[in-house]
Amino acid sequence: MRKGHRKPGVHTRIALQQFRKVFLIQVVSLVIIAGVLLLHSLSAAWSSLCGGLIFLLPGYVFVYRALVVQQTKSTPGAVIRQLYTSEIWKMGLSIALFIAVFILIQPLNPFSLFGTYIWLQLTGFIAQLRLNNSFLKL
C-alpha cells in the first residue's frame, strides 16, 4: 500500500460499488444515445459523445480523489478539505473540457451536446436515488 493511503472502510466500499453501477449505466446510455444520433448526423453523434465525456471524466476524477485516495487522518476538517478539493478539481476539469470542446470541435451540435449532458445528469440522479435506500426513507 502506498504511503499516505489506507484501506477504504465499509461505507466507502459501498459508495464505490454504487458509483461503479451508476457509471456503467451512464456509459451504456451514452453509447446508445451516440449510436442513435449517428443515424441522424455525424456531428450530432460526435457532439453527444463530447457531452458525455465532459460529464463522465470529471465525475470519475472526483470519485477517484474523494473516495479512492484515502487520507491517513479522518478528522472532519480533513474530510471536508479532501471533498472540497475534489469538487474544485471536478469543476475546473469540467470548465476546461467545455472550453476545449467549444474551441476545438467544429461543427458542433449544441442540442445533442447539452441534451446528452443533462440526460446523463438525470440518469445519475435517478440511479443514485434508487441505489441509495436511505434517501428513499426521507
Task: Return the percent helix, strand and coil in the chain, to nearest 5.
Answer: 80, 0, 20
The one-letter code for the residue type at 75 is: T
Nearest CB to other proteins, comparing residues 31 and 84: 84
Asked if 97 contacts 32 with a C-beta cutoff of 8 angstroms, the reply is: no
**Residue 28 contacts other proteins per CB under 8 A:** no
Triad 119, 128, 83: Cα angle to 5°: 100
The residue from 50, 117, 119, 127 that contacts other proteins (CB under 8 A) is 117
Binding site for other proteins (CB under 8 A): 9-12, 14-15, 18, 54, 59, 62, 66-67, 74-76, 79-80, 83-84, 87, 90-91, 94-95, 98-99, 102-103, 108, 110, 114, 117-118, 121, 124-125, 128, 132, 134
